[in-house]
A and B are shown apart, each in its own frame.
Chain A
Amino acid sequence: MRSTSLPSRRQDLADEWRAALAIARKELRVALRYPLNLANEVLQPLYQFLLPSLLLGATFAVGGHALGLASLVGTDDLAGFLFLGIVVGGMVGAAFWEIAFSFKREIDVGTLEPTWLTPTRPETFVIGRAISGIVIAGTTSLVLLGIGLAIFGASYSAGALAALPAIGLAAFSMLGIGYLIASAVLMLREPNFFVDATSFLFAMASGVAFPIAVLPIFIRPVAYLLPTTYALDLLRYHALGIRPLLEPWLEWLALLCLAILTLVLGRLVFRRTEHRMRIRGTLGQH
C-alpha cells in the first residue's frame, strides 16, 4: 500500500522518476541495437517529405526565390521553413509512435501485463517513453537542421534560441497528447491506421508542411487548438522572422494553457482507460 505522508510521497516520486529513467534507458538501448533504423529516422523525413517538398518549391520559384511563400508568411527561406517544420513533425511522431504505439508493441509481444504488475505506475511508462522519444526526436532534428544549414542553404537566426522554451512547453503538451493517444491504442485492437492517420493530420494541421493560412477555413480552428501550431510559429518567428499567426505573447499564453490542459486531460483519460481495462481484463488482448 502506498503511504500518503509527505516524506513517503517524496520517496514515491523519486522511485517513479528512477523507474521512468530506467524505462527511457531501456528504450534507447533497444533503439541503439538497430543502427539502420536509427539512420532511417534521419533519412526517411529527408526522402519522404523534405526533398519532394523542396523540389515542389523549386517548381514555383521565380529567379531562385520563393515569392509566393514570402508574400504569405514573410520569408522566402523555403529550406528554413521546411526544416524547422520537421522539428515539430518529429515531436508529433515521438508522441504518437514512440509513446502511444509502443503499448501496442508491448501487447503484441505479450509483455504489457507483466510490466503493469510491477509496483511502477502505468503513467510512469508513458513518461519513460516520452523521455526516450524526445532524446531520439531531438537528436534527429539537430542532425536534420544541420543538413538544412550545410546542404540546402537554410539560415536560422540566433534568435531561434529564444523559442526553445516554446519547444519545451510543446513537449509537455505532447506528453499529454501521448497519454490520450495511448488510451486510444489500448482500447483499439488494430490501432495502426488510427495512429498513422491521426499523427499525419496532427502534423499537417500544425503547419509542418505549409502555412496555416492555406488550410480550408473550416479546418483552421482545429489548427488553433494544437500546441504544436504555436510552438512551430514561434520557432519560425524567432528563427526566420516570419509574420506570426497571433501576437507572440498570445501564442506563449496559448502554449502554456494548452500544456496544462493536455497534461491534466491526458493523465485523467489514461488513468480511467487503464482502470477500465484492468476491471474488464482486456489489457493484453489483441
Chain B
Amino acid sequence: MSSGEGRLVSLAGDLRAFGAAARKEWRLLRRYPSLFIGFLFWPIALPTAYVLQAQGYAGGSAAATSAFASRAGTGEIAGFLFLGWAAYMWISMILWGPGTALRTEQVRGSLEAIFITPASRLVVIFGPAVSQVVWALWMFAVVGVAMWLFFGVELGLAAVLRALAVILIAVPALYGLGALFAAVVLRFGEVHALVQSVRGVFTVFCGMTFPIIILPEWARGVALALPPTYLIGDLRRVLLTGASLADLLPDLAILFSIGVEICLLAVVAFRSTERHARRGGSLAQY
C-alpha cells in the first residue's frame, strides 16, 4: 500500500471512530431523560430572569430605556439578553465538553485503553463533543422560538444565516479553548475550579448581560482579547441591528485569527501533556 493510500485508509478509520464516539455519547445522553428537560428549561428560564430584571431597571422610565438603547445599540432588550445567554450556554458546553469527557473516561478507568487505540487524538478530544453540537443547535432553536413567542422578537432567514456564519467563524476559537481545557485535565486531573473561574471571567468581561462600552477602559481591553466578546457582539449586530457580514469583517478577522492561535496553542499543549502523562504513567491517575 502506498503512503497516500495509507493516509486515506487512516482518515476513513478516524472518521468512523469520530462517528462512533459521537453515537456513544448520544446514547448515554438518551439514557437520562431529565437532561432533555434541562436543555429546554435553562435556555428560557435564565435569560427570562434577566429580562425581568431589565424591566425592573427600566421601571417604566423612558429615560432609562433610552439610556439602554443608546449604550446597547438596540432597544430590543429581550433579544439582547437572550442572545447573550445563549452564547454563554454554548460556550459553557464547549468549555466543559472535551475536558469533562476525558475526565469521565479517566474516572471510569477507560482513558488508557482509548489512548492505546490507533485513533487520532482529534477523535479522542472532539468525538464526544460532537454530540453536543446537537444540543447547541437545539438550544439556539429554543432561544429563537422563546424570543419570538414570549417577546415578539422576529428573526429573518437572512439574519439567521448570517448568525450561523458568525458561529462557524467562532468555532475554531471556542473548540480550541475546549481542547486547551482537555490538556489541563490530562495534566492536573480536576479542572472544575478553573472552568468556573474562566466562566466567571467571560461572564464579567464579555458582555453577556451588558454592552462592553460601559466597562472601564482597562476592562474593555481585557474583553477585546477574549473570543466570546466578538461572538456575542456580532450575533447581536447581525440579528438585532441588521448588520451585514461585510460590516463585521474586522471583528470576524480578529475572531478567526484568535481561533487559529488558540488551536495551535492547544495542539502544542495537548501533545506536551500527553507525552508527560505517558512518560510519568499518570494517564489514569486522578
Contact = CB atoms under 8 A, between A and B. Distances in A.
Interface of A: 36, 40, 43-44, 47-48, 51-53, 55-62, 66-73, 78, 190, 192-194, 196-197, 200-201, 204, 209-211, 213-215
Interface in B37-73: 37-38, 41, 45, 49-50, 52-61, 63-65, 67-68, 71-72
Interface in B71-117: 71-72, 81
29 contacts: A43-B200, A44-B200, A48-B200, A52-B203, A52-B209, A53-B53, A53-B209, A55-B204, A55-B210, A55-B215, A59-B72, A59-B210, A60-B57, A60-B64, A68-B56, A68-B59, A68-B65, A72-B56, A72-B60, A73-B56, A193-B35, A193-B41, A204-B49, A209-B50, A209-B53, A210-B52, A210-B53, A214-B53, A214-B55
Contacts of B45: 197, 200-201
Q: What 4 pairs across the A-B complex have the smallest Cβ distances?
A: A68-B59, A47-B200, A68-B64, A210-B56
Contacts of A40: 193, 196
Nearest to B219: A55
Interface of B: 32, 34-35, 37-38, 41, 45, 49-50, 52-61, 63-65, 67-68, 71-72, 81, 193, 196, 199-201, 203-204, 208-211, 214-215
Given A51-B203, A67-B61, A193-B38, 14 more contacts: A40-B193, A44-B200, A48-B200, A52-B208, A55-B204, A56-B57, A59-B57, A59-B71, A59-B214, A60-B54, A62-B61, A68-B58, A72-B59, A197-B38
A59 B67 contact: yes
A67 B64 contact: yes
B53 A56 contact: yes
A186 to B, nearest CB: 16
Given A48-B203, A51-B203, A51-B204, A56 B54 contact: yes
A215 B56 CA distance: 9
B210 to A, nearest CB: 4
Contacts of B208: 52
B218 to A, nearest CB: 15
Most A Cβ at <10 Å: residue of B35, B41, B209, B211: B209
Nearest to B39: A193
A194 B203 CA distance: 25
A51 B209 CA distance: 10
Q: Describe A's contact surface by its main secondary structure.
A: helix
A91 to B, nearest CB: 18
A31 B276 CA distance: 33
A51 B27 CA distance: 38
A118 to B, nearest CB: 31
Contact of B204 (A47, A73, A200): A47
Contacts of A61: 64, 67
Nearest to A36: B193
Contacts of A43: 200
A71 B193 contact: no
A47 B196 CA distance: 10
Contact of B59 (A51, A67, A196, A215): A67
A209 B34 CA distance: 27
A57 B38 CA distance: 28
A245 to B, nearest CB: 14
B60 to A, nearest CB: 6
Contacts of B49: 200, 204, 209-210
A202 B52 CA distance: 15
Contacts of B34: 190, 192-194
Nearest to A52: B209
Nearest to A47: B200
A78 to B, nearest CB: 8
B63 A210 contact: no
Nearest to B70: A59
B223 to A, nearest CB: 11
A68 B68 CA distance: 11
